[in-house]
């Protein structure tokens, strides 16, 4: 009789305690699920519900603590603000247009739409690897930003690497991708002496990984087959104080390249190539 009475009483007491949850974690009534990041150790020595955090898988987040700036070239609505993007800005050694509309395929697919799509894909992949990613624009500006501001965004973020995403507008038959490196420039507000070396290393890794991911070949119309081109006339490079390159992912005016650039599956491969190139550079 005594045992029979004790069982319901104990059960009722346990149900009251369970409904209160763990007041330290503020999760009344909650319990870890199969997807939880917490697990209860088999012999924790603490009260029921005490949890221990799983250690982070550092191998899955190789870019934790790194800052990457991705610069989607041009802007889909630049065309609506011709006078504003045409104004001159200082690029250190000269002046240049604030921005341009970019090129497009013969069917009308704009470079600015391509660059924004690929940049967003790169951002998602880099974030999955633990990086903090800053986009210079995310389709949230009326125009631009201007080329000098694009450089400044990377500088202010103290980026470990910055990549400007573009596609070229060369003649039909001129195919392939290339990476533009900053020349050694010093004048006015420009001084690339501290970034030319690391920018070249970033560019070389991008060429290797972009080629492997997409199957595309380095440009057949510049760079002597290396996929690398040095320039001193781009404000986004001249004014940068962090390692930075441009990647021209293909020629939008060549039908064969355009077929790739307009294909979403190919753009995902392009994003993976860019992401891996950045990762290789940052992991040294």
User: What pLDDT digit, counting tens, does each position of 15-32 carry?
Assistant: 333 333 333 333 333 333
Residue 46 has pLDDT above 60, yes or no: no
Higher-pLDDT residue of 115 and 14 is: 115
pLDDT digits (tens, 9 = 90+) for 93-122: 999 999 999 999 999 999 999 999 999 999
- Specify if 178 maps to a domain: yes
Residue 135 has pLDDT above 90, yes or no: yes
Please tell me the predicted confidence (pLDDT) of residue 59.
Answer: 77
Please tell me the predicted confidence (pLDDT) of residue 60.
Answer: 84
Structural domain count of the chain: 1
What percent of the chain has a predicted confidence (pLDDT) above 70? 80
DSSP-H helix ranges across 68-175: 82-86, 111-128, 147-156
Across residues 205-218, what is the average pLDDT?
98
Range of the structural domain that residue 130 is part of = 66-282
Residue 40 has pLDDT above 80, yes or no: no
Residue 36 has pLDDT above 70, yes or no: no
**CA-derived radius of gyration, the chain:** 26
Q: Are 248 and 170 in contact (CB under 8 A)?
A: no
- What pLDDT band is residue 10 in, cutting at 50, 70 and 90? very low
Residue 198 has pLDDT above 50, yes or no: yes
Say which of 97, 217, 248, 268 is annotated catalytic: 248
264-282 vs 111-128: helix crossing angle, rounded to 10: 50
Q: DSSP class of residue 216?
A: P
- Specify if 206 maps to a domain: yes
CATH number of the domain encompassing residue 146: 3.40.630.40
Residue 200: CB atoms within 10 Å: 17
Smallest CA-to-CA distance from 277 within 208, 218, 230, 220 is with: 208
- Specify if 47 maps to a domain: no
HEC sequence for 43-72: CCCCCCCCCEECCCCHHHCCCCCCEEEEEE
Q: What are phi and psi of 249, to 5 degrees?
A: -75, -10
Q: DSSP class of residue 80?
A: G
- For residue 168, what are the β-bridge partners? 251
- Specify if 59 maps to a domain: no
Among the listed ranges 40-54, 103-117, 261-275, which one has the minimum average pLDDT value? Answer: 40-54
Please tell me the predicted confidence (pLDDT) of residue 57.
Answer: 56
Question: Is residue 268 annotated as part of the catalytic site, yes or no?
Answer: no
- Specify if 165 maps to a domain: yes
CA–CA separation, 264 and 113 (whole Å): 12
- Specify if 199 maps to a domain: yes
pLDDT digits (tens, 9 = 90+) for 63-79: 999 999 999 999 999 99
- Specify if 23 maps to a domain: no
Please tell me the predicted confidence (pLDDT) of residue 21.
Answer: 35
Tell me the three state secondary structure of residue 161. strand
Please tell me the predicted confidence (pLDDT) of residue 41.
Answer: 35
Please tell me the predicted confidence (pLDDT) of residue 85.
Answer: 98
Please list, in sequence order, all residues whose beta carbon lies within 8 angstroms of the beta carbon of residue 107, skipping any fewer than 6 positions away: 258, 262
Across residues 159-166, what is the average pLDDT?
99
Buried b (16+ CB within 10 A) or exposed e, 59-98: eeeebeebbbbbbbbbbbebeebeeebeeebbbbbeebeb
- Specify if 11 maps to a domain: no
Please tell me the predicted confidence (pLDDT) of residue 56.
Answer: 52
What does pLDDT average to over the chain? 85
Residue 250: CB atoms within 10 Å: 27
Please tell me the predicted confidence (pLDDT) of residue 130.
Answer: 98
CA–CA separation, 115 and 120 (whole Å): 9
Please tell me the predicted confidence (pLDDT) of residue 169.
Answer: 98
Q: Are 179 and 235 in contact (CB under 8 A)?
A: no
């Amino acid at each position: 009789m005594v045992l029979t009475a004790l069982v319901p009483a104990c059960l009722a007491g346990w149900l009251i305690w369970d409904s209160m949850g763990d007041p330290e974690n503020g999760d009344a009534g909650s319990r870890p699920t199969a997807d939880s990041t917490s697990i209860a150790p088999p012999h924790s020595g603490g009260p029921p519900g005490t949890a221990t955090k799983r250690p982070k898988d550092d191998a899955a987040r190789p870019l934790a603590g790194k800052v990457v700036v991705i610069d989607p070239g041009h802007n889909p609505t630049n065309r609506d603000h011709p006078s504003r993007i045409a104004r001159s800005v200082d690029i250190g050694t000269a002046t240049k247009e604030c921005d341009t509309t970019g090129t497009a395929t013969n069917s009308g697919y704009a470079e600015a739409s391509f660059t924004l799509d690929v940049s967003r894909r790169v951002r998602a992949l880099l974030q999955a690897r633990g990086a903090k990613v800053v986009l210079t624009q995310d389709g949230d500006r009326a125009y631009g930003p201007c080329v000098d501001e694009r450089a400044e965004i990377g500088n202010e973020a103290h980026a470990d690497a910055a990549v400007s995403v573009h596609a070229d507008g060369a003649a039909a038959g001129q195919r392939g991708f290339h990476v533009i490196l900053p020349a050694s420039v010093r004048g006015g507000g420009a001084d690339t002496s501290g970034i030319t070396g690391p920018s070249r290393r970033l560019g070389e890794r991008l060429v290797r990984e972009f080629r492997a991911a997409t199957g595309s070949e380095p440009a057949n119309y510049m760079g002597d087959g290396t996929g690398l081109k040095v320039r001193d006339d781009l404000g986004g490079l001249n004014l940068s104080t962090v390692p930075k390159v441009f990647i021209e992912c293909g020629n939008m005016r060549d039908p064969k390249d355009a077929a790739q650039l307009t294909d979403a599956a190919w753009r995902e491969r392009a994003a993976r190539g860019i992401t891996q190139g950045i990762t290789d550079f940052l992991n040294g």
